[in-house]
Amino acid sequence: MNYLITGARPLGGDPVDLLLSDGRIAAIGGSLDGAGAVVVEAAGLVALPGLVDLHTHLREPGREDAETVETGSRAAALGGFTAVHAMANTDPVADTAGVVEQVWRLGQEAGLVDVVPVGAVTVGLAGERLAELGAMADSAARVRVFSDDGHCVADPALMRRALEYVKAFDGVVAQHAEEPRLTVGAQMHEGDRSAKLGLTGWPAAAEEAIIARDVLLAEHVGARLHVCHVSTAGSVDILRWAKSRGVQVTAEVTPHHLLLTDACAESYDPVFKVNPPLRTDADVEALRAGLADGTIDAVGTDHAPHAVEDKESEWASARPGMLGLEQALSVVIETMVEPGRLDWAGVADRMSVRPAAIGRLDGLGIRSQGRPLAVGEPANLVLVDPAARSVVDPAALASRSRNSPYAGRELPGRVVATFLRGVPTVLDGKAQK
Ligand SMILES: [Zn+2]
């Protein structure tokens, strides 16, 4: 089946037609003749390369009551994604070639996005000895991103060895930066509000200390480091300094850290409990500035579905984490595009091109992600209506979980269609399977 997309605006530019055939973009131009092709009218819609997430929790295997590879893939496609990196903190942990190949196969069966497994850095995420990084890299899942996310690789000698090891196959260690001895019992950002609410604080220094240590280790070893979910102004300063020295470091920010602050904790609604915690207005401003100037490379959702019993409880006993895939693009439009801090090319860069490059997905032939919208490239793209606005209804989400921090909030932007290698996974805003 061929598709002719008419009148779309690639990266917000002038309207053109795009002909998709055999999984690739076959032609781009005015009034294309797409004889026999299915026509998708896209007047007024912005076309972007398919979005790539570096940080998704799909919960399978182990917590299929919260999410599965299939339900998470559907949520991703509806959010405009064509590839997601599935984090390793499943049960069993994705710390062997067998488990990462299982997740990879489940993603292929679902067929809605490319599910790219992340491998654990340490066995069982226990932080004691390195997992079989080479075997995971050589597996059918072709793992390039390694992370103990949920836990910090706190031991500096182990972190150094992980960085040395992944160099052999051009891998990257994605660090959840949290010095555990500074966050024992932490419930929210440490500051005026935590003092007022009587909740144990998570100090910014616990994140910044690990990032500072790790950029020095990455520089010393000459390896690639990626920093997950950067949340503080000080972290942005350290990353800017490290990049100015030529350290091979990249970083991501979540949609929720771009939009929400620790003021949300005043409601005691556990939907706003997340790790790292929501920070201050000044931190949010620094994160937006860092994403705008490229110090922060990418938006990573940290989509973290949780079953009702793990989330609808008292604040102190609720699990940290919130949904992100289906509203990520809308939050970026709200916080970055509408205020004029990123144009559409910038959105494509931070949500597709750079995350694909960090995951080394940009050079895989027809399976490439994060490629330009150009003739001959794989037809991975999303059509978004930037003018549409809607109120988020958690009951309408494709995720198996309901812990959206945006419930009841009006956000701009609607994903109208998503194509994965020329096949629509979403049309008219509806998942195609
Ligand atoms: Zn994390």
Predicted local distance difference test score (pLDDT) of residue 247: 98
Cα 425 from chain centroid? Answer: 19
7 alpha carbon to ligand 1 midpoint, in Å?
Answer: 40
Cα 251 to ligand 1 centroid, rounded to whole Å: 12
What mean pLDDT comes out for the span 357-367? 96
CA 238 to centroid of ligand 1, rounded, Å? 19
In the predicted model, what is the mean pLDDT of residues 20-45?
96
Sorting pLDDT into bands at 50, 70 and 90, what band is 217? very high
As a whole number, mean pLDDT of residues 89-118 equals 98
In one-letter notation, the amino acid at residue 420 is L
CA of 21 to the centre of ligand 1 (A): 39
Q: What's the pLDDT tens digit per position in 327-345?
A: 999 999 999 999 999 999 9
Q: How do 410-420 and 423-427 pair as beta strands?
A: antiparallel
Q: What is the pLDDT of residue 289?
A: 98
How far is ligand 1, taken at its centre, from the CA of residue 321, in Å?
9
Question: Does residue 153 sit in helix, strand or coil?
Answer: coil
CA of 317 to the centre of ligand 1 (A): 18
| Residue 299 buriedness (CB in 10 A; 0-12 / 13-18 / 19+) | buried
Q: Which residue has the higher pLDDT, 129 or 31?
A: 129
Residues 6 or more apart whose Cβ sits within 8 Å of residue 182: 203, 205, 206, 209
Residue 198: DSSP 8-state: T
Q: What distance in angstroms lies between residue 177's CA and the mean position of ligand 1's atoms?
A: 8
The mean of the pLDDT values for the chain is: 97
**pLDDT, mean of residues 63-82:** 98
Q: What is the pLDDT of residues 165-183, one digit of tens each?
A: 999 999 999 999 999 999 9
Q: Which residues form the catalytic set?
A: 302
pTM over the 0.75 mark = yes
Closest CA to 258 of 324, 332, 207, 204: 332
CA proximity to 370, closest of 354, 383, 384, 386: 354
What average pLDDT score do residues 366-376 get?
97
User: What pLDDT is stored for residue 3 in this prediction?
Assistant: 98
97: CA distance to ligand 1 center in Å?
A: 22
Determine the distance separating the centroid of ligand 1 and the alpha carbon of 123, expressed in angstroms. Answer: 17
Protein residues within 5 Å, CB atom, of ion ligand 1: 149, 176
**Amino acid identity, residue 164?**
E
Give pLDDT, residue 274: 98
- 343 Cα–ligand 1 center, Å: 28
- In this prediction, what percent of the chain has a pLDDT beyond 90? 99
Contact yes or no for 118/125 (Cβ under 8 A): no
Give me the pLDDT at residue 154, please: 98
3-state helix, strand, coil in the chain (%, to 5): 35, 25, 40
Cβ-contact 352, 12 below 8 angstroms: no
Average of per-residue pLDDT across 151-160:
98
Question: How far is the centre of ligand 1, averaged over its atoms, from the C-alpha of 193 (Å)?
Answer: 23
41 band by pLDDT with thresholds 50, 70 and 90: very high
Q: What percent of the chain has pLDDT over 70?
A: 100
Tell me the average pLDDT across 378-396. Answer: 97
CB 92 within 8 A of CB 401: no
Confidence of residue 392 (pLDDT cuts 50, 70, 90): very high
pLDDT score recorded for residue 406? 98
Contacts of 96 (CB under 8 A, 6+ apart): 131, 132, 135, 136
Give the confidence band of 132 by pLDDT, cuts at 50, 70, 90: very high
Cα of 229 vs centre of ligand 1, distance in Å, is: 7
Using one digit for the tens of pLDDT, what is the confidence trace for 223-234?
Answer: 999 999 999 999
How would you classify the pairing of strands 46-49 and 51-56?
unpaired
Identify the pLDDT of residue 91: 97
Instruction: Render pLDDT for 266-282 as a digit per residue (tens, 0 to 9).
Output: 999 999 999 999 999 99
Token pair, residue 349, equals: 């860069």
- The residues near 314 (Cβ < 8 Å, ≥ 6 apart) are 270
C-alpha to C-alpha distance for 426 and 165, rounded to whole angstroms: 39
- Alpha-carbon distance of 23 to 21, in angstroms, equals 5
What pLDDT does residue 230 have?
A: 98
Q: Give CA torsion, residues 349, 399, 388, 33, to 10 deg.
A: 70
pLDDT value, residue 94: 98
User: For residue 362, which of 2, 49, 3, 126 has the smallest C-alpha distance?
Assistant: 49
How many C-beta neighbours within 10 Å does residue 423 have? 16
